[in-house]
Amino acid sequence: MKHRGRHRRRRRGKALRATLAGTALALTATATLISTSQATDADDPGALKPLTSSAETAPLRLSEDHVPPEWLDRLSSEMGRPVGVRAVLDDTDGSLRGAGSCTDDDKRALPVEPAATRAYCWDGADVEGWRPGAVTTSGDADDDGLWGPSRVVLSAWSQGDATADGTAAQGPAVTGTGAGQGLARVAFIDAGDPADLRYTWAQLAVPVAGGQDYRGLVSPVTGMVWYQDKLLVTAGRGDGSALYVYDVDRVQRATADGSTVGRVPGGWSAAGARYVLPAVAVYRTADADAPQPGGISLDRSTVPDSLVAHEAVAEDHDGPTRLWRYAFDDDRARAGLLATDPLLRADPVSAYETKLTHVRSVLSYGSGWYLGRMTGTPDERGTLWRQDTEGARPTRCGADETHRCWSGPSASLSYWQETGEVWSQTGRMLFALPLTSVDGSLD
């Protein structure tokens, strides 16, 4: 049932890129209407500082813990046989609108430069009361860019307010969690036709009570990576975990329509979603004060492929920000999991410190780290930097003096290597742009 084309290469998406070229012109015209007159943000953070001592890297260690297989089997026996990604995509909840049908208020969240080459907006009624989170794609899942026959984008959303360090304001979840309490859900988006993106909601959940029930994941999803058949999702401090692991081949159908999450009289509810994705494993930090991953992304330019993270910090944090990476395990029996020692501990393979503050997104490719930074309130534009051990450069806003031309509230970066695009999400906009355009606009 699993897609195992990990090492198969397919023809690059040249036709797709050609289709998108005209779209870039229209989006650029819209973006130039947005003011970039904010003050220059030209403070140079300099080069990344490597962290090499055990005292600096030991707090970044994660411990891997698995949900007992019998718990998952019990859920499946009660709820019915799990389904795969294609079955979810075929059961559509709604469609995204193309940029031409989006409001100016929605499009104001898009970056000015480099401009998006394509963009889509969510129906306001469908995401009202929800805040956008991280994005990942089938370009992360497999290096041919497809999951089976499908081209897929995953978009995370959570309810309620959350602080910048990933703490849900409502606190940890409990069994029978109701809607409106910080629940996290993911939209499975069929991106096979760039002109018609259709999506289906799945509630993120955690098995409890020996697999006789599940609770909703209560956390802002600031980071998410789909790698092979696993989906790794950040969890806020209030949940007591660093990363949850989901198996995309273990999606369960909800059997009852209700506002709660878990077992209800007559079946299983998912707070309005028709699908549930139960966690299969979790990564935890050593103690409550250890650094937590904020944004995460996949780096396919390393051997083996690796997961990179930036530190989740509070809004008033003015000190340096840590960046680090974990290697993925190359054992097929541990597909999609991090490389660990015999005690199931995952240590970072490299770590750095950046002087950039208010980092909200991270991407690593080649020798460069791309860091999205908020420079004011969420309504203001942010900056996008490329930093390495030699120095740092921000993207520029054309001929303007300012570097504040990135999307302010953008909280995720995901590189689709097969198409050369970076995907992100901000406000009610889902958008993509070539990584080459980011490099081309560096000051």
Regarding pTM above 0.85, the answer is: yes
Predicted confidence at residue 27, as pLDDT, reads 53
- Residue whose token pair is 């410190």: 353
Burial class (CB in 10 A: 0-12, 13-18, 19+), 392: buried
Q: What is the rounded CA–CA span in Å between residue 156 and residue 135?
A: 6
Residue type, 32: T
Both structure tokens of 85? 């990604």
Q: Are 428 and 124 in contact (CB under 8 A)?
A: yes
Both structure tokens of 36? 């970039």
Predicted confidence at residue 206, as pLDDT, reads 97
The CA distances from residue 375 to 131, 268, 323, 384, in Å, are 20, 43, 19, 10
Both structure tokens of 276? 């549930």
Predicted confidence at residue 401, as pLDDT, reads 66
Q: Are 422 and 430 in contact (CB under 8 A)?
A: no
Q: Are 426 and 112 in contact (CB under 8 A)?
A: no
Both structure tokens of 221? 């999803």
Q: What is the rounded CA–CA span in Å between residue 312 and residue 204?
A: 21
Predicted confidence at residue 39, as pLDDT, reads 33
Ordered per-residue pLDDT tens for the chain, 443 residues? 444 444 333 334 444 444 444 444 345 444 444 433 333 344 789 999 999 999 999 999 999 999 999 999 999 999 999 999 999 999 999 999 999 999 999 999 999 989 999 999 999 899 999 999 999 999 999 999 999 999 999 999 999 754 444 444 333 333 344 444 589 999 999 999 999 999 999 999 999 999 999 999 999 999 999 999 999 999 987 777 899 999 999 999 999 998 999 999 999 999 999 999 999 999 999 888 899 999 999 999 999 999 999 999 887 788 799 999 999 999 999 999 999 999 999 999 999 999 999 999 999 999 999 999 987 766 778 899 999 999 999 998 876 667 888 987 767 999 999 999 999 999 999 999 999 999 999 97
Q: What is the rounded CA–CA span in Å between residue 306 and residue 285?
A: 18
Domain spans of the chain? Answer: 14-440
